[in-house]
Amino acid sequence: MNMKLSPVSSKLPVMLHGADYNPEQWLKYPEVLREDIRMMKLANCNVMSVGIFSWVSLEPEEGVFTFDWLDSVLNTFAENGIYAFLATPSGARPAWMSEKYPEVLRVERNRVRNLHGVRHNHCYTSPVYREKTALLNGKLAERYANHPAVIGWHISNEYGGECHCDLCQASFRDWLKVKYNNSLDEMNHAWWATFWSHTYTSWNQVESPAPHGETQVHGLNLDWRRFVSESMIDFCQHEIDSVREYNPELPVTTNMHNIDGVDYRKLAKILDVVSWDAYPDWGYTEDNDDARLAAWTAMHHDMYRTFKHKPFLLMESTPSLTNWQSVSKLKRPGMHKLSSLQAVAHGSDSVQYFQWRKSRGSSEKFHGAVIDHSGHAETRVFRDVAEVGRTLAELQDVVGTTTPVQTAIIYDWDNRWAIKDAQGIRNSGLKYEETVLQHYQALWELGIPVDIIGSEEDFSAYKLVIAPMLYLISEDNGKRIEKYVEQGGTFLGTYWSGVVGETDLCHLGGFPGPLRRTLGIWAEETEGLHSRDLNGLVMDPGNSLKLSGEYDAHEIAELIHLEGAEALGHYRSDFYAGRPALTVNKLGAGKAYHLATRVKDLQFYVDLYAAIAGKERISRTLNSELPVGVTAQLRTDGEHDYVFVQNFSGAEQVVTLDGREYTDVESGAAAPSELKLAVNGLAILKRGAVKA
């Protein structure tokens, strides 16, 4: 069965390799522009993102448009076999607009309007800003949407931030009226506004959260975050609409970057292709654990792939260092190729960088780039980039391939926002993202592919669905999980789940609320533990997972009662020693596990998911054991599998293959039965796909 999807662009049906390119910064240096083209080809680059912050170079005065320089760049690209994602420049507007139309300037939470400066300092609600954006975007689209070098729209850049101006306040109230059926009573109940006498008696009394105003109505906080996210998505749609009609076949994307204020899962729905910007701090994390960081990065690659269940684009990464992390350390030998190909292993059809050439001045003059201030190609970074380009050229058959997945982790933006606002059990850190990572990293270590999904998605395609800290869950989604288990699925939930519904009101009748019947337990109490506190999970003899021994637990512990579930392990110490800490509940044709405490040791999660995967016959990429810090990830076209074996352990490793025949994609030779991986090494293998 053919499982290969169409490439992002039929003009360039290969792995994309390139960078953000800012020729407008170098218009006074024509020799630089000529040399750039030569070195792009030398680095095996085939696509550039242009125009991202070019507004003032395209419209230096209101209504005066200057496209000659962009004509020249795109025509030169076409003559040299280089392509472009053409950006809309809304991320940073010119000073003349701020001066003439101050309403476009963003108002902060303290209700002070910003001065002109930085980027993304604009109001998404402003009619003037929307008008000016649509006008320039339309002119760009009219001129370039059918240009032979242009393969897609790069809409704006890393949407983010929020505005609290009067226009946004009015828009927020209108949004609430729609959400709550124009009923203040309904809104007040949803927000539990009788608390502290916060009941609203007029829509005009509703204001966005502010440090010198309201911050303690959690339903208000959550709805404001939803409104801000939807405002950004609506503005993105406004930009898409302004260019789409000129060439409906040209795909649109906008680059995402772990910005907390946007629900990317919803933003992805209006895009043709998902792209994101990845900047892991390799080699200088606080715990100096590149394997954990690699798992964190892989989890996000998988999340962006899962948004549309098709290949995504790595739109930005650094070829060397950044200028904004706490320490700007160089990538060690091999890490650039390893980290770049990690994105491909998890579903990317591109490796692109910020930036092609270092800026000569301003805030990003020391941010990593393919071309340094020296201006030539005789650098370690350039050689690393060219090597990645050569490898990508060998991976044409991988373009459009998909990732077969049997396991999913639920990760919701609403839940994330609500947890961070919860004010309970452990205000020193509930660590939602870190908790999700604990579960993900174990699967990553085992070489089990994972989708990162929302709680409203279809679960039927998965053998195992994991929901770490599903604090916010609606009754409807709880019923959907229950039905999934009854019909034969396997579910795993944890502590601090099923606590509040969609408006952040606590479920009544006992936690875990709508998951109580599914999990077969009642959580009577949940406590936060000090960092110095330590408990443990001790596996019960003869448990159905056949796990043994004990594991340290910390930070959060839940005191649960069995309501049909069976205990698999118990607490080691404190007054609740001997009480259930890990359970399983049989429901219909399926089963549901519950982990009542945060286990400290990664090995526990590896052991747990290895046992569950064995019971549920969940496939691994390789049917062999992997050293700690080494993972194997899979892409397939249905006829051939492409296996990426990657070493993030920080030491040389040997991986024994599983007895099947493999070909090394880069060399074309048969792969040995034992792979020897250097520090920061990887192997890309091809094998025949297993037919379902």
Question: Crossing angle for the helix pair 127-144 and 68-79, nearest 10 degrees?
Answer: 40
Q: Is 168 annotated as a binding residue?
A: yes
β-bridge mates for residue 582, sequence order: 569, 595
Name 539's bridge partners: 569
Identify whether the C-beta of residue 626 lies closer than 8 Å to the C-beta of residue 683.
no
Q: How far apart (Å, rounded) are the C-alpha atoms in residues 392 and 394?
A: 5
- Residue 675 one-letter amino acid: L
Flag whether 119 is marked binding.
yes
For 610, the 3-state DSSP assignment is helix
Report the DSSP pairing between strands 16-21 and 348-353: parallel
Q: Which helix (H) or strand (E) holds 606?
A: helix 602-616
Spatial distance between the Cα atoms of 507 and 484, rounded to a whole number of angstroms: 21
- Answer yes or no: is 165 a known binding residue: yes
- Give the residue among 480, 394, 408 at the shortest CA–CA distance from 450: 408
DSSP letter string, 641-652: EEEEEEE-SSS-
Distances from the Cα of 582 to the Cα of 16, 494, 519, angstroms = 46, 9, 11
Nearest to 408 by CA among 435, 436, 380, 378: 436
- H or E stretch covering 397: none
Cis bond before residue 127 (omega within 30° of 0): no
Nearest to 157 by CA among 206, 90, 212: 90
Q: C-alpha distances in angstroms, 175 versus 198, 238, 400, 614, 663?
A: 20, 17, 39, 48, 56
Contact present, 585 and 519 (Cβ < 8 Å): yes
For the annotated catalytic residues, the residue numbers are: 158, 316
Contact 588, 486 (CB under 8 A): yes
Rounded to an integer, what distance in angstroms lies between the CA atom of residue 88 and that of residue 152? 11
Query: Structure tokens of 164?
Result: 């609290």
Distance, in Å, from the CA atom of 15 to the CA atom of 349, rounded to the nearest integer, reads: 5
Tokens matching residue 319? 């070829």
**Residue 163 assigned ligand-binding role:** yes
Tokens standing for residue 54: 């070019």
Buried b (16+ CB within 10 A) or exposed e, 144-163: bbebebbbbbbbbbbbbbbb
CA–CA distance, 443 with 606 (Å, rounded to integer)? 7
Q: 532: number of CA atoms within 13 Å, CB side?
A: 0
Number of H helices, E strands in the chain: 17, 26
Query: Which pair of structure tokens corresponds to residue 492?
Result: 């795993």
Give start and end residues of each alpha helix (H) in 263-371: 264-267, 290-308, 335-345
Q: What are the angstrom distances between the C-alpha of 341 and each of 386, 465, 665?
A: 13, 27, 13
Specify binding-site residues for substrate: 119, 157, 324
Annotated binding residues for Zn(2+), written as ranges, equal 123, 163, 165, 168
